[in-house]
Structures are given as C-alpha cells and as structure tokens.
Amino acid sequence: MAVHLEALAFVSEGIALSGHLRIPRGGRALPALAVTGPFTGVKEQVAGTYAQRLAEAGFVTLAFDHRGFGASGGRRGHEDTQGKLADLRAAVSALAAHPAVDPDRIGLLGVCLGGGYAVRAAAQDPRVRAVAGIAGGYNSPELSDGYRAALRTFVERYDELIPAVAEDGGEAAMGGDEPWAYYGTARSAAPTWENRVTRGSLHSLMTFDALGAAPLLGRTPLLVVHGKVDAYCSPDLAARLFERAAGPKRIEWLDCERHIDLYDNEPQVAHAAKTTADFFAEHL
C-alpha cells in the first residue's frame, strides 16, 4: 500500500516534539498507532522502520522523537520516564485530532524500552484501545540486582554525560558489542542521533516500573512479540508481563539470536510487523 509521509510537529507539556506521520494513501478515518522506540532512539531508526511497515498495512502511524532526543526540544540526552509518558499522551492527542484518523481506534506500539513505555502509557490512558511491545523492556525495580548500590552511583553523578554505546568494551550506557553493532555503525544512520546520555538516565530507567503496569491494563488487548534469546530485554520479564495482563492477550516468540535482530534483520522484522498488524487489525 502506498504511504504518504509528512512532518508533524506537536507539543508535550510545553516542549516541541518532532514526528513523522505516515498515512496510507486514499484513506480517511483510519486506525492509528503512535510508535515509540528504543533508549536514545530517534524516529529515523527502529521506530520509523516499524511505522513504515504498519502504515503499509493500512494504519496511520506516528513515529516521533521524545523530549531530549533527535529533533525534539527538551534537556539533551536525558531519559525522562514521566516525560516520555506525557509525550505518548500528546502523541495520542495529535493523532486523535488528525482528519485521517478515527479517534476511537488508536493504539500504541513500543519497541525495546518503548515496549515498557507503551504498556505503562496504555494503562494510564483509556483512549488507547490496544497495545503491543516488540522486544520490549519491561523493567521492574523489585527485580533489579544491586538496585540501591547502582542508584547511588547514578545519583551522585546524575548530570554527567557518558556515551550511549562504545566500541571494544568501553564504558557506555548500553554496554557491549551488540548495541555498538547497531548504533555504532551505518545500520542506525540518522542525522539527529547523538551518542551521549546522562548518568541520570540510567537512574530513571532503573526506577521505572513497566512490569507493574500489566494488571492496570484492564481489558485493553495486549500483544507481546519477543525473541527467544535476548540479552538486553529479558524474555523472562516479557513472559511475566504477559502472565500478569488480565485482558485479551497474545504472545509470539521468535527465533532470534540477538536483541537487535528485531531492529532491522529479516525475516524477524517482517514476522514481527505482520504479527503486529494482524493484532491491531483485530482489535482497533
């Protein structure tokens, strides 16, 4: 299906956000999805990949830069968990106001850490009719090893900037070779992505409870798509999220060797996108 891409600027708590709106050509009053992506990610990367696939499947999609990242305003390189939830509420409002969108058929799609944000946002916003997470990060402070000791380091050096990724085992917010293989190479090329975050961002992530939102979804339909192997976003937490959700739900386990297989590798991305499109077609 042919897709029209347009820039969409909107505001969240007085902060200007930059988005890409994709509209299937010839459609009106269509179901719509706000798409949120990985930690430090911008709209031209993973969120944009899935936004394009879902738009080709017949949904209006909005991939956007959260506050502090990409072309949006806000404190640079700082992960603001409550701010991101406000951004998702603003994205739902922006979609609901658009003439191409049916305001009663809006869902949320999150990839990586965006999966946790999408679930928490859906639990707090009754306008969201369905939610899906792909390779989602369903953080739970109660299950974090060394929780208080780690928080001390982050608090004491809260405003200090560190690399988001680093080569050859260097210190980074996302340590290891796998994040570098995506963000440190041409695979993630995007003009507004910056390789830096605050240490306080890690404090925000460790204290954010995505898993605890599952029972609060009520009857909101939930889809969990996750790799059987994932060293960065726990398959165990994905299973726990699914188990705790009370409404209509589906879980799809994919044969992945790495977390980032669901960022841009085939056939994993095609499988995830098709499963997600089918889910939203049923529930929106």
**pLDDT of 63:** 98
**pLDDT of 143:** 76
159 burial (CB, 10 Å; 0-12 / 13-18 / 19+) is exposed
Tokens of 135: 């390779």
**pLDDT of 149:** 82
Instruction: Say whether 103 sits in a helix, a strand or coil.
Output: strand
Whole-angstrom distance, CA of residue 178 vs CA of residue 97: 39
**pLDDT of 152:** 86
Write the CB contacts of 255 (distance below 8 Å, at least 6 apart in sequence): 227, 228, 268
**pLDDT of 110:** 98
**pLDDT of 153:** 84
Give the pTM.
0.96
**How many other CB atoms are there within 10 angstroms of residue 97's CB atom?**
10
**pLDDT of 150:** 80
**How many other CB atoms are there within 10 angstroms of residue 58's CB atom?**
15
**pLDDT of 28:** 81
Residues 237 and 245: beta-carbon distance below 8 Å:
no
Tokens of 267: 């056939």
Instruction: Say whether 22 sits in a helix, a strand or coil.
Output: strand
DSSP string of 124-160, one letter each residue: H-TTEEEEEEES-----GGG-TTHHHHHHHHHHTTT-
Q: Work out whether strand 101-111 and strand 128-134 pair parallel, antiparallel, or are unpaired.
A: parallel
Q: Would you mind telling me the total number of residues written for the chain in this entry? A: 284
pLDDT in tens, the chain (284 residues): 899 999 999 999 999 999 999 999 987 899 999 999 999 999 999 999 999 999 999 999 999 999 999 999 999 999 999 999 999 999 999 999 999 999 999 999 999 999 999 999 999 999 999 999 999 999 998 877 778 888 888 899 999 999 999 999 899 999 999 999 999 999 999 999 999 999 999 999 999 999 999 999 999 999 999 999 999 999 999 999 999 999 999 999 999 999 999 999 999 999 999 999 999 999 99
